[in-house]
């Protein structure tokens, strides 16, 4: 008879551990994400779940219109918004220039050195001329 009590205790303990290790943190994360989605407003700088950065132009029920470059807007599902970037230092850090540095730095670290395609300098283009203008202007506010 005492072995059946131990079995019940083990099952209850297993369920409690599973609840506190898996279910509860997931519920907490879901509530935090829902609060983030409810706080979305025009002008917020965001990152989507797929890693696209942009500025919110319009928020609808299940849809967010995001400007990813000057004059380029895309529609994304509201639930696809992963993060609101509020700090300007954080926004600079996640811009393409902030993450990878300049094209010269990438070449020195080997990001592009294994490529079989000729580099920009081999094509006769100056590397500074081929820099992405978008990376400089991506987080500027609309006027």
Number of domains in the chain: 2
Do 45 and 31 have their domain in common?
no
Q: What is residue 114's predicted lDDT score, i.e. its pLDDT?
A: 42
Do 25 and 52 have their domain in common?
no
The mean pLDDT value for 80-101 works out to 63
Residue 53 lies in a domain: yes
| Enclosing domain of residue 32 | 1-38
Do 61 and 93 have their domain in common?
yes
Do 24 and 48 have their domain in common?
no
Residue 101 lies in a domain: yes
What is the distance between the alpha carbons of residues 103 and 1, in angstroms, rounded to a whole number?
A: 73
Q: Which residue has the higher pLDDT, 117 or 80?
A: 80
Do 49 and 104 have their domain in common?
yes
Q: What is residue 59's predicted lDDT score, i.e. its pLDDT?
A: 93
Q: What is residue 86's predicted lDDT score, i.e. its pLDDT?
A: 79
pLDDT tens by residue, 34-49? 999 999 999 999 999 9
pLDDT band at residue 3, thresholds of 50, 70 and 90? confident
Q: What is residue 1's predicted lDDT score, i.e. its pLDDT?
A: 59
Do 27 and 84 have their domain in common?
no
Residue 142 has pLDDT above 60, yes or no: no
């Amino acid at each position: 008879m005492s072995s059946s009590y131990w079995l019940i205790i083990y099952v209850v303990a297993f369920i409690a551990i599973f609840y506190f290790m898996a279910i509860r943190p997931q519920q907490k994360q879901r509530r935090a994400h829902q609060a983030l989605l409810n706080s979305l407003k025009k002008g917020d700088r965001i990152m989507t779940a797929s890693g696209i950065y942009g500025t919110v132009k319009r928020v609808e029920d299940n849809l967010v219109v995001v400007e990813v470059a000057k004059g380029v807007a895309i529609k994304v599902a509201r639930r696809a918004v992963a993060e609101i970037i509020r700090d300007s230092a954080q926004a600079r850090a996640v811009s393409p220039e902030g993450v990878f540095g300049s094209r010269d730095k990438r070449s020195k670290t080997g990001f592009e050195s294994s490529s079989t395609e000729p580099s920009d300098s081999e094509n006769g283009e100056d590397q500074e001329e081929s820099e992405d203008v978008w990376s400089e202007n991506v987080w500027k506010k609309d006027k």
